[in-house]
Structure 1
Amino acid sequence: MVTLKHLIVMDNDEDHVPLLTEAGILESPTTQHCRAESRDFFISRRNNYILSIFLLLGCYSAILVPAYLPTPEPIWTNESSAENQALLNFSASLLAQTCQVGWSVEQVRTLTTPAGLLEIPVFLENATDDWALPPPLGLQGSEEVAAEVLKALPYTDIPTGPESCRRCVVVGSGGILRGKNLGPHIDQYNIIIRVNNAPVFGFESDAGSRTTIRLIYPEGAPSNMQEYERTDLVALVVFKTLDLAWLTSAVTKEPLSWWSKLWFWKDVVDSIPLQPENVRILNPEIMYRTGQVLQTYAEQQRKMVPTLGITAMVLALQLCDEVSIAGFGYDLQHPGAPLHYYGSLRMDAMMSQVVHDVSAETILLRELAKAGAVRDLTGAL
């Protein structure tokens, strides 16, 4: 064993492990204090694991939980009570007047471009015409399927009504309709046209309580069967060949295959509670001619697919002597304004879509309203 100053080291030939026997003695009080602080500062591996779990759960909760909490809907007011009363007075005055035969058509004929929206067959009667475009602007590639559907539909004529003079109102889904209390006035029109799943039940005070024609595509058909109770006709707007297959299924009550259902962009109803004589197919020429007219108002030239709202208005021009509209007009200057008179969608949802040119449609509607061809009951144009 070799002894150095304050250090004892065992020789290799001795059966002992070398030890620094005085290491603990040589540590200064300062060093010992630092080691004690280190032990107090660093927690154990178990405690560190538990703390990490709590921190992780806290972060996830802060991010995800608010998304599932109910948030109060913003209250949006765009009209004063005096302005609403003025709209009611205007609507009442229109209904009090004697219906003028051919009024709307005569006013449209005074306009150069919109005149192309007249004299269009309303409902599809046969699928043998020379369709140059695929749906929704034609039936190219869908003629055989359309012919099969027409075999299941006994009638293709227009709805019955007063032959002397017809008044139509096209009820749009716009949020501008909310709170206007036009429902009792709307119910007084001979023909009331609605689109897709815009509800009646629960909204009678603003939207009225009955429907003459409801334009739909499968994904937009009402899932609430009550919506069909006071409906005279449902008219399919064909956007794809599969829509015709869906209509055949809905009329004949023969279910679609699960494979076919996969190609709809949302769930569709299996049937509609109406008889075949209460079902029609909109003539695609209405969509095509409307798109052609809208081209002249668009900033960019492209294939124009009209909204069902403007399509319903063009349909009304074929059926009625006087045409009024309610619930039309997009307030794109206020993204927080309600998009529909029902639901919680806001105007920014329409601003982000790229399928329709709502600006071109607004210009057309304003031109028709200015000429008196249509009467705007909600005053948004």
Structure 2
Amino acid sequence: MLWKKKLWSTLVVCLGVSLWNIYKLVNTGPSTSSHHFEEQPMMEGKSCNCNRCTELSNLDWFCERFDTSVNCLLTLENSEIPSGVLQWWLKLQRSNDGSQLQEIIKDLFDILPSPATGVEDIVQCGTCAVVGNSGRLRGSKYGEKIDSHNFVLRMNTAQTAGFEEDVGARTTHHFMYPESAMNLGPDIHLVLVPFKPLDLKWLASAFSSGEIWRTYRRVKPFLKADKSKVLILNPVFLKYIQDKWTMHYGRYPSTGFITLIFAIHTCTQVSAFGFGADHNGNWHHYWEENRAAGAFRRTGVHDAIIELQLIERLAAAGKVSFYK
């Protein structure tokens, strides 16, 4: 009988969390204010545990994957990368400078301020729109809805000029890596997704000497962005997504899916836009001509189908509002 009581109590915990999230989705719409960013700082804590499950349960698909202990951000205080994570990380793009990692991180934070770690684990941040780059956004007229969220997260070379009606105009957090980097306006957080140690060296260089202009291809030697607002994802967080969410389908998760999981960890309500193929079944960016639709699906790096299925399952579980 004891095991039955324990099983029942665990089920009630996760069921209660799920019902509470459904209640919030039904009874609270996205804020129409665009002035909450400084009032409610996002992800200044050392870890990310906003939102979801208080106990793990084999009966709950989401709770089984969501890890409240994972460190989302890389800081000086958590710069020691576990050996298993480091070995996996170095293999992603065939890096060989793992022995220099601590020196690289120290040099980086000599140039950039390390995110605060003395505050609460997480500051509740409200509603977040994660805007993917799919061509299915064309003609969607989602721009106003996207901009109504407290935070708007975009990634890589996402364009807004000329597409505001469909994709919105606001950006608060822009996720990128050296090969997809672009200059940012004021008050936008640059969020580096480091797929190799060289990405950390590039970031330091882009805000100082400009000496790194090539990785596996040409990259921007200098970057225009507010260096006081830079955030860096922890390789531990990337491996967590690969292990717990994409389950090793693809070599590593896409920037878009990484951004979505980050939002789930740090936002009280998440809306996803611009993921998946367009209505003709083509995979391409909304700002580009459809010359090689779906070419990225043939690279073998990311598994777009699996990631889309995960987003749809997150939506079915009430963790994400997925706008198709």
TM-score (norm 1): 0.62
Distance 1:106 1:163, change over 3 A: same
Question: CA contact under 8 A between 2:128 and 2:150: conserved in structure 1?
Answer: yes
| Shift of residue 368, structure 1, vs aligned partner | 0.5
Question: CA contact under 8 A between 1:136 and 1:240: conserved in structure 2?
Answer: no
Q: Distance in 1 between matches of 2:215 and 2:50?
A: 44
Residue matched to 1:368: 314
Question: CA contact under 8 A between 2:31 and 2:150: conserved in structure 1?
Answer: no
Question: CA contact under 8 A between 1:122 and 1:286: conserved in structure 2?
Answer: yes
2:304 to 348, 353, 358: 358
Residue matched to 2:213: 261
Residue matched to 1:156: 115
Question: CA contact under 8 A between 1:216 and 1:234: conserved in structure 2?
Answer: yes
Is 1:340 matched up with 2:285?
yes
Distance 1:249 1:167, change over 3 A: same
| Shift of residue 124, structure 1, vs aligned partner | 0.5
- Amino acid in structure 2 at the alignment position of 1:124: L
Question: CA contact under 8 A between 1:153 and 1:280: conserved in structure 2?
Answer: no
Distance 1:348 1:140, change over 3 A: same
- Amino acid in structure 2 at the alignment position of 1:173: N
2:73 to 114, 123, 127: 123
Residue matched to 1:215: 175
- Amino acid in structure 2 at the alignment position of 1:143: Q
Distance 1:219 1:270, change over 3 A: same
Question: Gapped runs of 5+ residues in structure 2?
Answer: 1-24, 33-48, 91-96
Residue matched to 2:268: 321
Matched pairs, number: 266
- Amino acid in structure 1 at the alignment position of 2:235: P
RMSD value over aligned CA atoms? 3.3
Structure 1 window deviating more from structure 2 (267-276 vs 139-148): it is: 139-148
| Shift of residue 286, structure 1, vs aligned partner | 1.8
Q: Distance in 2 between matches of 1:285 and 1:244?
A: 15
Q: Distance in 2 between matches of 1:307 and 1:363?
A: 14
- After superposition, the C-alpha distances for 1:174-228 in whole angstroms (9 at most, x for unaligned) are 1111111111111111111111111122221111112111111111012xx4xx1
Distance 1:103 1:238, change over 3 A: closer
TM-score (norm 2): 0.72
Overall identity of the aligned pairs, in %: 27
Question: CA contact under 8 A between 2:131 and 2:154: conserved in structure 1?
Answer: yes
Residue matched to 1:95: 30
- After superposition, the C-alpha distances for 1:12-44 in whole angstroms (9 at most, x for unaligned) are xxxxxxxxxxxxxxxxxxxxxxxxxxxxxxxxx
Distance 1:354 1:234, change over 3 A: same
Distance 1:231 1:197, change over 3 A: farther
Q: Determine which structure has more spread, i.e. the larger CA radius of gyration.
A: 1
Q: Distance in 2 between matches of 1:172 and 1:107?
A: 29
- Amino acid in structure 2 at the alignment position of 1:305: Y
Q: Distance in 1 between matches of 2:124 and 2:231?
A: 24
Is 1:105 matched up with 2:52?
yes
2:253 to 299, 306, 311: 306
Q: Distance in 2 between matches of 1:108 and 1:204?
A: 41
Is 1:192 matched up with 2:144?
no
| Shift of residue 112, structure 1, vs aligned partner | 2.9
Distance 1:172 1:292, change over 3 A: same
Question: Gapped runs of 5+ residues in structure 1?
Answer: 1-89
SS in structure 1 opposite 2:140? coil
- After superposition, the C-alpha distances for 1:158-178 in whole angstroms (9 at most, x for unaligned) are 9xxx96651011100111111
